Chains A and B, each alone.
Chain A
Amino acid sequence: MAAKDYLRERFMPHIWCPGCGHGIVLNNLVESIDRLGLNKNDLVLVTGIGCSARISGYVDFHTLHTIHGRALTFATGVKLARPELTLLVAMGDGDALAIGGNHFIHAARRNIDITALIMNNRTYGMTGGQHSPLTGYGMKSITAPLGNIEQAFDTMELAKAAGASFVARGTTYHVRSLQKLLTKAIRHKGFSVVEILTQCPTYFGRKTKAGTAVDMLQSYRDNTVPVGSEAKQKNPELIERGIFVQEERTEFCAAYEGIIQSSREGR
C-alpha cells in the first residue's frame, strides 16, 4: 500500500514546524508497518503529550492520545487486555524519560510486548524549548539560559539496565537503517526501545546554536557511528547507532497466560 493509505488526511496538515524531524519518523514508521504487512485493525498507537504525541492523530490505526508521560501505562492496559494486538508507543524525550521515566523502566522490566519509540529532539518543543533529561550538560535552553548543569541519560544504557529485550538507536538522517530498526523492533516479541535522534531546528537548533534542520541532519551523519565501531573507541564523543540489545526473553503477556493456565488447573 502507499504511505497515504496509512494516514488520516482529515488530520492534515500536521502541526510540526518546517524542518522538524518527526515527519521523517512518521514516514519510516508507516513504511515499516507496510513492510511487515500488518493489518491496520490490529495496530494500536499510543502517545502522551508533546510534539511527538501528535503522531497518533495522523495514522489510520486505533489511536490513543493520552496524558503526559503515561502513554506506556495506557498501552500496558490495552496489551494485557488484548495481547494479540500490536502496540506502538511514540514518546518524546521529556514524555518518555522525565515525567514518564518510571513507567519506562517498569515496562522494560516487565518485557511487555510493546514497541516504544523515543523521538529524541533533546527539548520540550511544544512548550517552547525547555531542557529535557536528554538535552545534556552545558547546553542552553529557555530554562537554562546560562547552560544546563544536569547530565543526560544514556537511553541505551538505561533501557538495557531496566531489562528491555530490544534496544536500538537511529537518526532521521539514516532513514533506510531507521526503517529497518523499526521493522525489527516491531517484529521483536518483548519490550523494544528505539531511540530516534530527530532535529528540532525551531528550539533546540536556535537555543544551542546547533543550526538549521540541514545542519542538524549533517551532525547526525558526522557525529554518529554504527554500534561497536572502532571510531567510537578513538573518539568517545561519537554517538553509536544500531542495535544494542536483541534477546529472546520471557514476554509478560505470554507469562500471564501461564498464570491463567496454572490457576485454572488449581496449582
Chain B
Amino acid sequence: MNCENSRDRRLLFLQGNEVCVEAALYAGLGFFAGYPITPSTEIGEQLSKRLPMLGGKFIQMEDEIASMCAIIGASLTGVKAMTATSGPGFSLKQEAIGYAVMAEIPCVIVNVQRTGPSTGLPTGVGQGDVMQSRWGTHGDHAMIVLTASNHQDVFAVTVEAFNLSETFRTPVILLFDEVIGHMREKLVLPEQGEIPLVERLKTSVKEGTNYHPYLPREDGRLPMSDFGGVHRYNVTGLFHDMWGFPTTDPNTAYELLHHLVDKIESASQRIARYNEFFLDDAESVLISYGASARSALHLVESRRAVGERLGLLELQTLWPFPAAIVRERCEHAKYIVVVEMNMGQIAQEVKKAVNDPDRVFLANRFDGNLITHRDIKNILRVIRGGGM
C-alpha cells in the first residue's frame, strides 16, 4: 500500500511479509513456489499477483515438500527462486534443503516463525526454529540464516539472502517471525542500484569444452551452467565428483564435505550482520534478534535516558553464529542477557562464545506473545539480585 499523502513514491507502509516480497523482487526473484501456511501466507499471495506482471513464475504446489523441490528445479535453469513457509512447513522442507546444500543450488527459504512444536500456536509469535534452521536437515553441513527486527532491515537481509545464495551456491534461510511478518511500518524502498546485487555466476567454458560443474575456482566459487544450456551435466544428492557423477570414494567424499562446510564457515566474518546500540560503555549487554530485539531496544533506550549503562547487540546473522563478534562485544560486560522467544537456543550459543558463560542469562518468553520491555526489565532486576 502506498502512502497516498506522501510525495515520495518510494515511501511505503507495509507488512513485513510484503517487505520481503518487495525485496525479493528487487533482488531479481523470477520464480516462487509455495503452499499456504500462517503466518507467511501473504508472501505467496502478493507474489501470485506481482510475478506474472513481471513475466516471472508463481506456482502454488500441492505441499511444502513440492514447493521446496520446485524452487530447486527452477534455480537450475538460472532464475532466482524462493519459497516461504512457517514451522510445520519448514519441517517438511528439510530433506530438500539438504539436497540444495549437497547439490549446491542457490535458493532462498523464508520461515516466518510461529510457536511450536507441531501445529503449536499458528497465530502466535515464536523464535523456536533457530536450531532447526541450523540443523534441520540431516548430516554435517553449514547453513546461512539471516533475520531482522524492522522493515528496512527485512528488506536489506532479504536482498542479502539472494546475494549470499548466489555467491556461495547454497540455500539461505530467512528466519523472520510472526510479529515482523504481520507488523506494519514504514519502508523507504531503495532505488535500483542502491543495494548491490549478486547475479548468477555463469561458466565461461565454451560449448564442446569440458565443463566441470563441481570444480571450484581458486576463489572457491563454482560457475554454473543453466539447464537447457550447452553443457549437459548430472546433479545428484549423492556424494559426487567434479563432474557431478556419484562416487563412494572416501577421499572425494571427505573433500566435498569439507568444501560444503568450509566455503561458508570460512566466510563467517563476511556473512556476519549485526547492529549495535550503546555497547561502548555497557555494563549489561542484551543480545537479541528479530521481534525480540525491538523490545530489547525499547528497554535500552528508556534505561539510557535514566543513566543506566545498558547496551544491545542485535544479531541479523544467526548462522554461521558470529561467535567472535559476540565474544568481543561482551568482553567487558558484567551481565550478558539473551532476549529471545524460545527456551534459550541462541543463549546456548552465546555461552559457548564468551569467556565466562556464568555471566550469560536468558530473558525469554515462549507463550505465543511478544516479549515486552517490561518482561526484560523484570528479569534484569532478578539477575541483578532484586526480587520479582
Residues of A participating in the B interface, judged by any CB pair closer than 8 Å: 8, 10-11, 40-42, 44, 46, 56-57, 60-67, 70, 73-82, 84-85, 102-103, 106, 256, 259-260, 262-264
Give the residues in chain B near A67, CB-CB below 8 Å.
Answer: 69, 95-96, 99, 237
Whether B61 sits at the interface, judged by CB under 8 Å, is yes
Distance of A102 Cα from B95 Cα, bound (Å) = 17
- Residue of B52, B71, B74, B79 near A260 (CB, 8 A) is B52
Which residues from B are CB-within-8-Å of A73? 61, 65-67, 69-70, 73
In the complex, the chain B residue whose C-beta lies closest to that of A70 is: B69
Q: How many residues of B contact A (CB 8 A)?
A: 43
Given A41-B230, A81-B77; 6 other pairs, CB 8 A cutoff:
A57-B234, A75-B73, A76-B66, A76-B73, A79-B73, A260-B52
- How far does the alpha carbon of A260 sit from the alpha carbon of B56 in the complex, in Å? 8
18 contacts between A and B (CB under 8 A): A41-B229, A41-B230, A56-B234, A57-B234, A57-B246, A65-B237, A65-B238, A66-B99, A67-B69, A67-B237, A73-B65, A73-B69, A77-B72, A77-B74, A78-B77, A81-B73, A81-B81, A82-B77
- Is B69's CB under 8 angstroms from A77's CB? yes
* The 7 A-B residue pairs with the shortest CB-CB distance in the complex, in nearest-first order: A77-B73, A77-B70, A73-B69, A81-B74, A74-B73, A106-B62, A73-B66
Nearest residue in B to A263 (C-beta to C-beta)?
B52
Q: Are A65 and B234 in contact (CB under 8 A)?
A: yes
Residue-wise, chain B 62-96 has the 8 Å CB interface mask toward A (1 for contact) of 11011101111111110101000000000000011
Contact between chains at B99 and A77 (CB < 8 Å): no
When C-beta atoms are compared, the residue in chain A nearest to B53 turns out to be A263
Closest residue of chain A to B96 (Cβ to Cβ) is: A67
Bound complex: CA A56 to CA B77 (Å): 17
Residues of A within 8 A of B232 (CB): 40-41, 60-63
Q: Is the CB of A81 within 8 A of B66?
A: no
| In the complex, chain A residues whose CB is within 8 Å of the CB of B99 | 66-67
Hey, which bits of chain B sit against chain A, CB under 8 A?
A: 30-31, 33, 49, 52-53, 55, 57, 59, 61-63, 65-67, 69-77, 79, 81, 95-96, 99, 227-230, 232-238, 243, 245-246
CB-based contact B31/A80 at 8 Å: yes
Q: In the complex, A42→B228 CA distance in Å? A: 5
Report the separation of the CA atoms of residues A65 and B247 in the bound assembly, to the nearest whole angstrom: 13
Q: Choose one: B62, B237, B245; the contact of A10 (CB below 8 Å).
A: B245
B66/A78 in contact, CB under 8 A: no
- Once the chains bind, are B235 and A63 in contact (CB under 8 Å)? yes
By a CB distance below 8 angstroms, the chain B residues around A11 are 245
Which residues of B have CB within 8 Å of A65? 234-238, 246
Q: Name the one of A60, A66, A82, A259 contacting B69, with C-beta atoms under 8 angstroms.
A: A66
Does the CB pair A263–B49 fall under 8 Å? yes
Residues of B within 8 A of A44 (CB): 227-228
Question: Smallest CB-CB separation from A256: which chain B residue?
Answer: B57
Q: Are B235 and A81 in contact (CB under 8 A)?
A: no
- Beta-carbon contact of B235 and A85 below 8 Å: no
Residues of chain B with a CB closer than 8 A to A78's CB? 73-74, 76-77, 227
Among B69, B233, B243, residue most surrounded by chain A Cβ atoms (within 10 Å): B69
Could you tell me if A66 and B237 are in contact, using CB atoms closer than 8 angstroms? Answer: yes
Q: Are A260 and B55 in contact, CB atoms less than 8 angstroms apart?
A: yes
* CA gap between A81 and B227 in the complex, in Å: 10
- In the complex, chain A residues whose CB is within 8 Å of the CB of B233: 62-63
Residue of B nearest to A44 (CB): B227
B57 contacts which chain A residues (CB < 8 A)?
80-81, 256
Q: Which of B31, B52, B236, B238 meets A77, CB within 8 Å?
A: B31
| Distance between Cα atoms of A74 and B67 in the complex (Å) | 9
